[in-house]
Amino acid sequence: MVEAMRNALSPTSDHLAAPSDDPRLLSRLNRQTLKEPRLRRHQRMSIGCIALLCCAACSPHSAPDTSTSAAATTSATASAASASDDPYEKLPRVPSLSVSSQTLTDGAPLPRAQMSGTFGVPDGQDQSPQLEWSPGPEGTKSYVVTMYDIDAPTGSGFWHWAVHGLPASTTTLPAGAGDAGSTLLPSGAVQIPNDADMPQYVGAAPPKGDSPHRYYFTVTALDIEQLPESGTVTPEMLGFTISTHTLARGHLMATAAPA
């Protein structure tokens, strides 16, 4: 196509014919000859523009390169999927306490005794597990012990047990210490109402159809002996209140499937 246009725009053979002896014709031919370089430049420019337009029209349109943004989105999604959902992960970092149990195995299913008969689990006993932990760092004046279900279908989890005011000299609790009106807790310890509004330990009872739930048994060392009553009305308020008094923390995690 470009070659055909070049031929069409190139000077004809009439321009190269032998000049006549007529002076007027000679003068006209001389003027034509002077204009020839400028004419050819215009022709070359026209041909170049037409060729560019033809190339643009004929070449396929390439799709915008979204590989970089797609890769970034994939990476962000993968990071989010692999991020830990430990309920304490977003809290300020503190030294770790070593928490162990003769009743529980970290990462293993809860025994039936630690499931909830109150909420209909066959053979559930609502018995708090035996727990022990390493002494807190220097300055520890009390401990808080809680049990939290991160997978409860509430949007905010479910607090099964919360006890505060455990003396600094306490580094173990026997099984059943979380019973209502328990005499197995040390003097000064206080159980506050859980999310079932019961001031005691309530065992696991995942709803039918749910995947296994994860239960965090957490021990927190504090730099204060007794917390203000206004800060211990609920487990959520307890967690908020102790956030500025935490010296160290440790936990075990156990699981439970629907009965």
**How confident is the model over 205-242, as pLDDT tens digits?**
999 999 999 999 999 999 999 999 889 999 999 999 99
**Residue 69, SS3 per DSSP:** helix
The predicted structure's pLDDT at residue 31: 53
Q: How many residues does this entry show for the chain?
A: 259
Only one residue has tokens 């209140």, namely 241
Query: What is the CB neighbour count within 10 angstroms for residue 196?
Result: 14
CA atoms of 181 and 161, how far apart (whole Å): 14
The predicted structure's pLDDT at residue 19: 46
The predicted structure's pLDDT at residue 85: 80
Kindly give the pairing relationship between strand 190-191 and strand 158-167.
Answer: antiparallel
Query: What phi-psi label fits residue 226: left (phi over 0), alpha (psi between -120 and 50 degrees) or beta?
Result: beta
Mean pLDDT per 10-residue section of the chain, whose length is 259 residues: 47 44 52 49 49 44 45 39 70 96 98 98 98 98 98 96 98 98 96 98 97 98 94 95 97 97
Single pTM value for the model: 0.69
